[in-house]
Chains A and B, each alone.
Chain A
Amino acid sequence: MSDTKFVQTKRTFLKTGLASVALTTPFVNRAWAQTVELTMLGWYGTAEPDMVGAFEEANNVKFVPKYYAGGDNMLAALAQNPPGTFDIIHTDAEYAKLLVANDLVMELDPNAYAFDDLLHDDFKSFAGHWDAGGKLYSLITRFGHLGVSYNKDVLTAEEAASYDIYWDKRLTGKVGHFDWHLPSLGQMSLLMGNASPFDIGTDAWKAVQEKTLSLKPQVGGYFDFGGTFSGLKNGEMLAMVGIGDWVTGILERDGTPVASVVPKEGGIQWTESYSIAKTSTKTDLALKYLAYTMSPEGQVKTAQMLGYPGHAVTKAGRALLNEVDAAEAQRSHQVNGDPQDPITLINEGRISYRDIPVQQSLEDWNDFWSEYKNS
């Protein structure tokens, strides 16, 4: 056994320290010099490692997320931050048109993306992604459907197949709302038989309000993200208005007996896209990321996103999802031939694309929503 002692004098400590710093500095400097930060304004989860990790590693880039909930907050973040704050903007289609109208995003080259590979023709010229002159500003990336979300221990899929189920006596005090007027009122509009639920006249709007107010005795609460998840998970809420598989899909993965179904009156589609801020100074890298999101690998990641699941928009993306994660593909019906295949539902005319109110202002809908909550 050696009896040599390791003696650290002040001089040897300083020598070792200085030598270490001298040896590592070039590497640290190089790493710092090459890592580029891309700031993304998006819904929660879009810039988490499961989504952007592989791209970050391959391109020595670091995503800096700024998350929001609801399109209004996205527009506010853009208005209240200095130009150049954000590089990539992840948004809902109905708000993408406002980005274009306010000249906030740069034009994209449609030839750079596999538009021919999109699963549905509607996706190729999605409203709000293109301007009136046929220029592309927003690139579709994923979508999902909103319908009736329910507790499988209490309701069957057949019972949940109509929005009328919200008025069922078994659900008194157990119907929750995701606290956002657009999806909830959109569903009420579908129930009232409006083929374009967000483009309704004065009489139809009044009827939607009356129908919504009649639901009040059934309502157990109005919830944010967290409240929506816990309300369904602990069984306090047996049905939820205004959501879909993007919430129940996560709970299902954890074994909670909940599911979502597109009812006979039709469902509402949320559609998400990416744009690049006009003031971004890192457009090359941002464009590279947009191309990545359309690649089969990027599409699989978007379908599996841990924050909340969505559907792939390209055929190659769907094919790869079925190959690498058949269970998730089947659970979310992203399988060709499945009767609940989201593309089939669109083809059958059972889906309306979510929009901002056409004949009323957003403020009108917001006002009514506050009135409803306080009724």
Chain B
Amino acid sequence: MRRLNLYALTFRLPIIVWQALFFIGPLIFVVAMSFFVVKNYRMVETFELESWAKMVSRDYVWSAYRYTILMAGGAAALATLLAFPAAWFLAFRCSARTRQAAILLLIIPFFTSYLVRTFSWYTLLAEAGVLNGALGVLGLGPYKLLNTAIGTLTGYLTLVLPLVVILQTVTMANIDARLIQAARNLGCSPARTIWTVILPAGKTGFVIAALFAFILCFGDFVAPFYLGGSNPPTLPILIIDTTKAGQQWPRAAVVAVMMMLTLFTIAFAAIMFAYRKRASR
């Protein structure tokens, strides 16, 4: 029988306790809450399927669900594509000192509140704003950017793009440069080198970066509310609306559980894909 290793437990216990207190506990509570009911604006602890029946039978819930997945998925894909050239440059084309400075600069936006960064887009994206002003000089526009899907995507990218660049940079910086040199020496074009060497070698990092982007966007309330004008609402906005309308916390909990199940499924699939070994031929 294995003896209990107290030394190892000392280091493992805090994270176990932390997860139990602040993740598993609240998770169980949210699931339980989805079966409660509200009477006279007060939650009654019971086990009824009323909130589930109500929410899953409403078209607008599924409409918000599809839109949220589309927008979060789109933002994750866009962030992955936009981040790649920058990360490639930082990983392969600049000095270590420049890379360190760039990563520091990418971290600095996180020093400011995300809400403040989002509001600053008002000045830039408004029809009388800086961007439309610049386009106007070229005889273009004005274009409606605020309170649109473009506004929401802009907010999402504000949140996740620096993070995706950092994760991709670290991923590529850890790829053995000799593999890339060998590919080029053997006549691979830059595009084929990316496709056959860099992407497979850094697959885990790229997928994890995209997954983080998806998770953060999927649960974000600020961008679709303030830059997208809630038009149409995403699931986090639906949660807020539901709690405001008659204090229906159990119905909001149903939406939260739907979101968590979706994230678990997507995260599980993404991680399986990221760590799957390529079959030997």
A positions within 8 Å CB-CB of B: 70, 72-73, 75-76, 78-80, 102, 173, 176, 179, 219-223, 227, 230-231, 234-236, 362-363, 366-367, 369-371, 373-375
- Interface CB pairs A-B, < 8 A, 20: A70-B244, A72-B245, A72-B247, A80-B41, A102-B40, A220-B144, A220-B229, A221-B147, A221-B229, A222-B230, A223-B229, A223-B230, A227-B225, A230-B122, A235-B126, A236-B146, A362-B245, A370-B242, A371-B60, A374-B63
| Complex CA–CA separation, A362 to B230 (angstroms) | 21
Contact call A373/B233, Cβ cutoff below 8 A: yes
Contact call A79/B42, Cβ cutoff below 8 A: yes
Distance in angstroms from B209 CB to nearest chain A CB is 31
A76, A80, A362 — most chain B CB neighbours (10 Å) = A76
Smallest CB gap from A230: residue in B: B122
Residues of chain B within 8 A (CB-CB) of A367 are 58
Contact call B230/A79, Cβ cutoff below 8 A: no
Q: Does B232 contact A (CB under 8 A)?
A: yes
Smallest CB gap from A69: residue in B: B244
Contact call A76/B247, Cβ cutoff below 8 A: yes
Contact call B128/A235, Cβ cutoff below 8 A: yes
Q: Does B33 contact A (CB under 8 A)?
A: no
Chain B interface residue number, banded: 20 to 34
| Complex CA–CA separation, A28 to B64 (angstroms) | 57
Contact call A370/B147, Cβ cutoff below 8 A: no
8 Å CB contacts to A: which residues of B118-136?
122, 126-129
B positions within 8 Å CB-CB of A: 40-42, 58-60, 63-64, 67, 122, 126-129, 144, 146-147, 225-226, 228-233, 238, 241-242, 244-247
Smallest CB gap from B129: residue in A: A234
Residues of chain B within 8 A (CB-CB) of A363 are 245-246
User: Which of B42, B147, B230 is the one whose CB lies under 8 Å from A373?
Assistant: B230
User: Which of A73, A227, A231, A236 is the one whose CB lies under 8 Å from B244?
Assistant: A73
| Complex CA–CA separation, A231 to B233 (angstroms) | 17
Contact call B126/A234, Cβ cutoff below 8 A: yes
Residues of chain B within 8 A (CB-CB) of A73 are 244, 247
Contact call B127/A72, Cβ cutoff below 8 A: no
| Complex CA–CA separation, A231 to B244 (angstroms) | 22
Distance in angstroms from B51 CB to nearest chain A CB is 12
CB contact under 8 A between A374 and B64, given known A221-B147, A227-B229: yes
Smallest CB gap from B231: residue in A: A221
Residues of chain A within 8 A (CB-CB) of B129 are 234
CB contact under 8 A between A366 and B60, given known A221-B230, A227-B229: no
Residues of chain A within 8 A (CB-CB) of B67 are 374
Contact call B147/A374, Cβ cutoff below 8 A: no
Contact call A72/B63, Cβ cutoff below 8 A: no
Residues of chain A within 8 A (CB-CB) of B59 are 371, 374
Residues of chain A within 8 A (CB-CB) of B225 are 227
Smallest CB gap from B62: residue in A: A374
